[in-house]
Copies of this chain bind each other. A is one copy, B any other.
Amino acid sequence: MTQATLETTINMEAMGQRARQASYMLATLTTAQKNTALLAIADALEANTDHILAQNQLDIDAAVANGVDPIWIRDRMDLKKRMAGIIEDVRKVAQLPDPVGRVYSEAELPSGIHAHKQRVPFGVLGVIYESRPNVTIDISTLALKTGNAVILRGGSDVLNSNLELVRVLQEALAANGIPSDAVQYIASTNRDYVRQMLRLDKHIDMIIPRGGSGLHTFCRENSTIPVITGGIGVCHLYVDETANLDASLPVIHNAKTQRPAVCNALDTVLVHKSVAAEFLPRVVDYLGKDGVVFKAEPQALALLNDDRVEAAGEREFDTEWTALILGLKVVGSLDEAIEHIREHSTQHSDGILTEDDAHATRFLNEVDSAAVFVNASTRFNDGGALGLGAEVAVSTQKMHARGPMALEELTTYKWIVKGDYTSRP
């Protein structure tokens, strides 16, 4: 028995209507008004840290009682060491430029009308995420900054934490004259409400799932609202025959080991056959000392005689490892490397290590991933690392946004057309 007050039935339609209504007001807020509210949220989180941590402890206690892996609890659930960072991030969002209102593609048309596009909020976002209560604050504040209402559905195991965070958020919004319906939370662990949310196309404009491939597939299959799918990265680096091998090792090491659990972490190294015999054992040594183990296809396996290397299973080159495991494969040519990537990549982050400009250009043009790299780590496919100042999700689809979604990607545009009682000729 936890302390969260769960509504026995949630009227999702009504929740959607309230979000839509709030979105109209949010769209009229000035940047200054939004920033004031953001700073007030940061202050409120600070003032309410004890309450938040008390609710968070309930979630942690339940997880411990259920035998959840302590590393999982520490890395994803526990807010104790994260509150200061979360609050700091809210203040940073207040500093970011506001994309809403930007005017572009202006034109005077021969008919006499003046037309331009203007960035506007999306309206209402539906966000479904797993664990990690910090995402609750992250998404809510980025939505507020861009004038969007949100309906949130976080992981069941941190429900107490999330409800308390949302309570604090809503109070801070209301105290600043912003409807608390701007941030609503589905206070239930019943997945049926997620299914209902995915069909509220009259009230929700975009669905952002943040989680594993199961969640993405579920949204794709059940949503009548446009969905941003992504966050699944089977990522490649191809070591060309011209690559500087000494310089390539640290890049591969960085891409694989810096944060092995995230989506831009490296999954497979492809090596040109002419350098494979020299380079593959060096890769195994260089990364193996940090605990990486390897899955090699037969040609690569034949070049390696090492306990840390085993034969790759049939579908393992389609696996996002999210762990210290790296696939190794020898390819006969750049064409073969591109072909392997087309077949196995999730179109997230793929790169080439090369000294040959023509090879680099071909790779950049012919590999169709959200981010393509020359002589750089796949880890750079990230809103922060690409200079966007924030990140809501990493899209691997091609519609609307590709790669990191930041503030701009939480907005859309409208056409504004002005005439002098002008009819179309």
Q: How many residues of A contact B (CB 8 A)?
A: 72
A372 interface neighbour in B111, B123, B244, B416, Cβ under 8 Å:
B416
A201 interface neighbour in B220, B258, B369, B376, Cβ under 8 Å:
B220
B370 and A415 contact, CB distance less than 8 A: yes
Q: Which residues on the B side are within 8 Å of A248 (C-beta)?
A: 421
Q: Which residues on the B side are within 8 Å of A28 (C-beta)?
A: 365-366
A365 CA / B351 CA spacing, docked (Å): 43
Query: Given A201-B220, A376-B417, is A226 in contact with B422 using a C-beta cutoff of 8 Å?
Result: no
Binds B, one of A52-60, A163-171, A381-389: A381-389
Q: Which of A28, A360, A368 has the most CB of B within 10 A?
A: A368
B415 and A372 contact, CB distance less than 8 A: yes
Does A221 belong to the interface (CB within 8 Å)? yes
Does A195 belong to the interface (CB within 8 Å)? no
Does A12 belong to the interface (CB within 8 Å)? no
Query: Given A353-B421, A369-B414, A376-B418, is A387 in contact with B254 using a C-beta cutoff of 8 Å?
Result: no
Binds B, one of A89-97, A267-275, A283-291, A398-406: A398-406
B375 and A420 contact, CB distance less than 8 A: yes
Q: Which residues on the B side are within 8 Å of A371 (C-beta)?
A: 414-417
Q: Which residues on the B side are within 8 Å of A364 (C-beta)?
A: 416
A417 interface neighbour in B221, B380, B398, B402, Cβ under 8 Å:
B380
B113 and A376 contact, CB distance less than 8 A: yes
Minimal beta-carbon separation of A360 from chain B (angstroms): 8
B226 and A226 contact, CB distance less than 8 A: yes
Q: How many copies does the complex hold?
A: 2
A366 CA / B121 CA spacing, docked (Å): 11
Query: Given A254-B423, A422-B251, is A414 in contact with B244 using a C-beta cutoff of 8 Å?
Result: no
Query: Given A398-B122, A398-B206, A413-B402, is A419 in contact with B373 using a C-beta cutoff of 8 Å?
Result: yes
- Which residue of chain B has its CB nearest to the CB of A228? B399
- Which residue of chain B has its CB nearest to the CB of A369? B414
Does A374 belong to the interface (CB within 8 Å)? yes
A contacts with B: majority SS: mixed
Does A205 belong to the interface (CB within 8 Å)? yes
A417 and B206 contact, CB distance less than 8 A: no
Q: Which residues on the B side are within 8 Å of A134 (C-beta)?
A: none
Q: Which residues on the B side are within 8 Å of A370 (C-beta)?
A: 414-415
Which A314-353 residues have a C-beta within 8 angstroms of B?
Answer: 342, 351, 353
Q: Which residues on the B side are within 8 Å of A247 (C-beta)?
A: 421
Does A14 belong to the interface (CB within 8 Å)? no
B375 and A423 contact, CB distance less than 8 A: no
Q: Which residues on the B side are within 8 Å of A299 (C-beta)?
A: none
Query: Given A27-B365, A370-B414, A403-B415, is A386 in contact with B115 using a C-beta cutoff of 8 Å?
Result: yes
Interface residues of A (CB under 8 A from B): 24, 27-28, 107, 109, 111, 113, 115, 120, 122-123, 201, 205-206, 220-221, 224, 226-228, 244, 247-248, 250-251, 253-255, 258, 342, 351, 353, 360, 364-366, 368-377, 379-382, 385-387, 397-400, 402-403, 412-424
Could you list some 17 contacts between A and B, CB below 8 A? A27-B368, A113-B376, A113-B380, A115-B380, A226-B397, A248-B421, A253-B423, A254-B423, A258-B423, A360-B418, A373-B418, A373-B419, A375-B422, A376-B418, A379-B424, A399-B399, A399-B412
